[in-house]
A = this chain, B = another copy of it.
Amino acid sequence: MTDLATVLRANGRRLTPQRRRIVEALAGLGHATPDAVAAQVGADGGASVPLSTIYRGLEALEALGVVSHTHLDHRAPTYHLTGHADHVHLVCRACGRIDEVPASAATEFVAQISASRGFAADVTHMAVHGVCAECRS
């Protein structure tokens, strides 16, 4: 936790209560859109934080590698703590359900494109679309 302050300060940034709350919200939610983060932050009892601050906070934290985001579905960037367990998201195109599988399932795939293209893939929180088991039947 104090680590957060360290990372920010090391880059001339500051740890404000708002940012601390953004991180806490993400820790509790796992994944969340800026909107959802705002809602969660507002739900912790304290004063609500304007969306603009949420956006700027997430942006600052992402620049420092504390959080990152992916696009699980249509229009919604979902943020998560970088430390959050690495996994790939399986997004069902039919029912919308989102399942997860450990990122290790893609190890081979990652190695392959690294070898063939020199591309260092980061499959953490990668979104894979398709149809889930239930919807297939």
Contact = CB atoms under 8 A, between A and B. Distances in A.
A92 B131 CA distance: 27
Interface string A74-115: 110100000000001010110000010100011011001100
B101 A128 contact: no
Q: Indicate the member of A71, A88, A122, A133 with the most B CB atoms within 10 Å.
A: A71
B74 A77 contact: yes
A126 B106 CA distance: 13
A1 interface: no
Contacts of A92: 119
Main secondary structure of the interface of A (DSSP, over half): mixed
Chain A interface residue count: which class? 20 to 34
B121 A129 contact: yes
A19 B3 CA distance: 54
A116 B109 contact: no
Contacts of A101: 113, 116-117
Given A99-B119, A121-B130, 6 more contacts: A74-B77, A88-B113, A90-B119, A101-B116, A108-B108, A119-B131
Interface of A: 70-71, 74-75, 77, 88, 90, 92-93, 99, 101, 105-106, 108-109, 112-113, 116-123, 126-133, 136
